[in-house]
Structure formats: structure tokens, C-alpha cells
């Protein structure tokens, strides 16, 4: 993400105002990283300075407020204009998105959000391998939340569930308190359990189901899937115990698993 350079002074009322503005911009950056784009827009309502317009455009694009974002871009004449055009074009799936993002990346090759915009464009052009290389490089080089989020979303988009789980687990290990990450990991693991059962990877299904119950013990219905996996491996006693626990928790038996078995082959 672009670092916003708002310079604080050395004391006095004007410097206090600068400090307050810088703090609001930093809070807006964190809000956008956490997926709270509306909060970011509010924090930037009266902010000004280098990079602020770019940050505001990014927040508006996340909210799909295309008209407001476009008006911000039309008024821009500074060094951030190329980045804004790239991200606007990518968000709207414009036909010139790839060209605009390549031009923007020449000027700012390490801007993670530009990399994400380019990767999203490549995905829509059915070039997922190129997109994944860009995103994995961005994760390796910066470790930024926006890059990790985009890589997991990319893997989900193409039903590469096992890889998505691996990336989400790695991120969760680093930032277990990150907003929304635990439920996202749980949802991916649940999808993996169903896929593993369909593909008759019963051992993998059992491991993933136990991980779901470790992260979200209230997901008692998952015990039925765990029971199916255990029964398929011949452990009928353990399977019966899991079904009994599920019933005791008030969980109803789920429908048979359906979907892509563990993700598409590479």
C-alpha cells in the first residue's frame, strides 16, 4: 500500500491539526486493509495531502461507488493518476485495464494494490497462472494483508480449495486476531471437508473437520462429516461417538456433500 507522507511540525496549534490529519489517514489505511471501506471514506472526508486522493479512490472503488471515484480521478493531475486509472479500470473490468495497470506498475512496481488490480484483471482474462505468480511474489515480498487476501480470493475463484486453505492457515498463524480471518478459514475448511469426502480422501476430510471444530466448536454439524470420514476408514466406534455429540448439541444431519471435490486439478 502507498505510504502517505503527512509531515508533522514541531509544536503549536497548526502542528496539532497536522498530527490529527495524519492519524485519520493512518486509521483510514487500516480500515481499508480490514475491509471497512465505508469507515475509510468517513475518516478521509476532510483529509488532504499526498496520497489522500488515491486512498479515497481505493475506498470508493471497494464500495462500488463508481461515480464518486470517477470524479476524484478526473480532478487528479498528480503522480497518483496512473494508479487511480489502473485500479478504476480493473474494478470496472474496462477493456484497457491491462494496459493501464502495466503502465502504472512501471512507475510503482512495488505498489501492492496495483499488483492486485493487475492480477484481478488477468483472472478475468482467463490467465490465472500469471495472476497467481504476481500475487505470490507480492505476498513473499511484502506480506501485506491486501496481497494475502487477494491470493486467497484468487484461489477460491478457481476452486483451488486446498491451496486456499494452506494460504489462509499461514496467514492465521501470523495474525490470529485479524478481523474476519478466522471465519474465512473455517468456511474454507468446511468446503475442503466436503470436497475431500466427495473425492474419497477420508483421512484428509477427518483432519480438516477436526480443525474446523478446533477453530469453531459451535459448528456441531461438522461432526456428522467427521463421522462419515471416520466410518469410511473403518473406525465405526469413533464415528458413532461423533454422531452422538452432534445430536447432543442439537445439530441436524447435513445434506450429502456436493461441489467440486477439493478443487480443480492443476
Domain locations in the chain as residue ranges: 15-76, 93-158, 164-266
> Please, are residues 33 and 58 in contact by the beta-carbon 8 Å criterion?
no
Axis-axis angle for helices 97-107, 81-92 (nearest 10): 150
- pLDDT for 190 beyond 60: yes
Summarize pLDDT for 117-142 with one digit per residue, the tens: 999 999 999 999 999 999 999 999 99
Summarize pLDDT for 151-187 with one digit per residue, the tens: 999 999 999 999 999 999 999 999 999 999 999 999 9
- Mean of the per-residue pLDDT values of the chain: 90
Confidence band of 48 (pLDDT split at 50, 70, 90): confident
- Per-residue confidence (pLDDT) for residue 45, from 0 to 100: 87
Please determine whether the domains at 93-158 and 164-266 fall in the same fold group of CATH.
Answer: yes
Summarize pLDDT for 196-226 with one digit per residue, the tens: 999 999 999 999 999 999 999 999 999 999 9
Q: How far apart are CA 39 and CA 144, in angstroms?
A: 20
Backbone phi and psi for residue 175, each to the nearest 5 degrees, phi listed first: -135, 70
Q: What is the mean pLDDT of residues 18-46?
A: 85
Summarize pLDDT for 75-119 with one digit per residue, the tens: 999 899 999 999 999 999 999 999 999 999 999 999 999 999 999
- Per-residue confidence (pLDDT) for residue 24, from 0 to 100: 83
Q: How far apart are CA 65 and CA 87, in angstroms?
A: 13
**Collapsed DSSP state (helix, strand, coil) of residue 44:** coil
- Per-residue confidence (pLDDT) for residue 259, from 0 to 100: 61
Q: How far apart are CA 261 and CA 15, in angstroms?
A: 59
Confidence band of 4 (pLDDT split at 50, 70, 90): very low
- Look at the block and give the residue holding cell 470517477: 70
Q: Which CATH class is domain 93-158?
A: mainly alpha
pTM: 0.85
- pLDDT for 2 beyond 50: no
Percent share of the chain, pLDDT over 70: 89
- Per-residue confidence (pLDDT) for residue 25, from 0 to 100: 86
Q: Does domain 164-266 have CATH number 1.10.10.60?
A: no
Q: How far apart are CA 266 and CA 106, in angstroms?
A: 31
- pLDDT for 264 beyond 60: no
- Per-residue confidence (pLDDT) for residue 96, from 0 to 100: 97
- Per-residue confidence (pLDDT) for residue 169, from 0 to 100: 98
Amino acid at each position: 500500500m502507498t505510504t502517505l507522507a503527512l509531515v508533522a511540525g514541531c509544536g503549536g496549534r497548526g502542528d496539532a491539526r497536522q498530527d490529527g490529519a495524519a492519524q485519520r489517514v493512518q486509521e483510514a489505511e487500516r480500515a481499508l486493509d480490514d475491509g471497512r471501506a465505508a469507515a475509510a471514506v468517513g475518516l478521509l472526508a476532510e483529509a488532504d495531502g499526498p496520497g489522500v486522493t488515491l486512498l479515497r479512490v481505493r475506498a470508493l472503488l471497494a464500495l462500488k461507488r463508481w461515480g464518486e471515484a470517477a470524479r476524484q480521478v478526473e480532478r487528479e493531475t498528480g503522480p497518483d493518476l496512473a494508479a487511480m486509472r489502473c485500479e478504476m479500470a480493473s474494478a470496472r473490468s474496462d477493456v484497457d485495464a491491462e494496459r493501464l495497470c502495466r503502465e502504472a506498475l512501471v512507475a510503482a512496481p512495488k505498489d501492492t494494490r496495483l499488483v492486485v488490480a493487475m492480477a484481478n484483471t488477468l483472472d478475468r482474462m482467463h490467465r490465472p497462472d500469471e495472476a497467481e505468480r504476481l500475487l505470490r511474489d507480492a505476498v513473499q515480498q511484502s506480506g501485506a494483508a491486501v496481497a494475502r487476501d487477494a491470493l486467497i480470493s484468487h484461489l477460491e475463484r478457481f476452486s483451488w480449495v486446498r491451496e486456499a486453505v494452506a494460504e489462509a492457515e499461514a496467514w492465521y498463524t501470523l495474525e490470529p486476531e485479524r478481523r474476519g480471518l478466522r471465519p474465512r478459514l473455517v468456511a474454507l475448511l468446511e468446503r475442503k471437508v466436503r470436497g475431500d469426502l466427495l473425492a474419497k480422501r477420508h483421512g484428509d476430510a477427518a483432519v480438516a473437520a477436526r480443525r474446523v471444530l478446533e477453530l469453531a466448536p459451535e459448528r456441531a454439524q461438522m461432526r456428522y462429516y467427521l463421522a462419515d470420514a471416520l466410518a469410511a476408514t473403518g473406525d465405526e466406534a469413533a464415528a458413532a461417538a461423533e454422531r452422538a455429540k452432534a445430536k447432543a448439541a442439537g445439530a441436524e444431519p447435513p445434506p450429502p456433500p456436493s461441489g467440486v471435490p477439493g478443487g480443480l486439478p492443476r
